[in-house]
A = this chain, B = another copy of it.
């Protein structure tokens, strides 16, 4: 008769984002949490007796629920709160929690840049056709205010609520065509990139399309050598996580960021 050796069960890859609403200035957290439990679960393995197997789906719900009051920059404390909760509520001998926090750099009262996938791009075509394109890829931005989406058409498959103020995140790809070469391509590149960021953080927008159009318009205004600019703005959704199911007040600050699917918006604006 075989025996059960070391074992654990839990939930990995629980992505949680949180807006820390302030007086005019918001802060933002973006973490990935793993919870693992260990206990006397021999009969679960050998007999299929689940009476001591807390579902990993419950662990996930718990992480979101407790994040509203407990997730701060002090990751160690949030980890300890989660451990205590599971040690008290289920019959296990050990709880372990890992938290990874992605870094976002503040750019404005409610705006951030994130990640480091950003790349400067140049695309040069010569020969029977000639064109010089410059741009940026992977410029990840997020704002906790100043973005709405309302007034859209509804049909039987529409479940999206209208939102006057939503969290907006995207990974900007912008490519522009030079009709004549600027004197210093690096200075010009920085000017275009800075303009894009300024408008993303500064402008109120009615949609991703509207947001992007304002950015494109501003770049054309600021850099006379650019004849047209194309933007690709995947809408990286942060879904609200409904806490009222658990009889918690829901302050609208806890989100579930998803990688797929994403809103896929792209367009070109010409001088």
Contacts and interface: CB of A to CB of B under 8 A. Distances in A.
A25 interface: no
Contacts of A4: 213, 267-270
A223 interface: no
Interface string A69-88: 00001111111101110010
A234 B12 CA distance: 9
A258 B44 CA distance: 25
Interface string A45-63: 1111111111111101110
B115 A96 contact: no
Given A160-B55, A209-B9, A97 B123 contact: yes
A108 interface: no
A163 to B, nearest CB: 11
Given A2-B217, A50-B149, A61-B159, A100 B137 contact: yes
Contact of A15 (B90, B93, B260): B260
A106 B46 CA distance: 28
Contact of A2 (B41, B132, B235, B269): B269
This chain: copies in complex: 4
A268 B42 CA distance: 11
Interface string A125-140: 1111100101001001
Interface residues of A, number: 132
A52 B149 CA distance: 12
B58 A160 contact: yes
Contacts of A46: 210, 213
Contacts of A82: 124
A265 interface: yes
Interface string A182-194: 0011100000000
A81 to B, nearest CB: 9
A264 B56 contact: yes
A129 B137 CA distance: 30
7 contacts: A5-B270, A13-B259, A13-B261, A13-B262, A76-B178, A116-B117, A259-B259
Interface of A: 2-15, 32, 34, 36, 38, 41, 44-58, 60-62, 65, 73-80, 82-84, 87, 89-90, 92-103, 114-129, 132, 134, 137, 140, 149-160, 178, 181, 184-186, 205-210, 212-213, 216-217, 220, 228, 230, 234-235, 245-247, 259-271
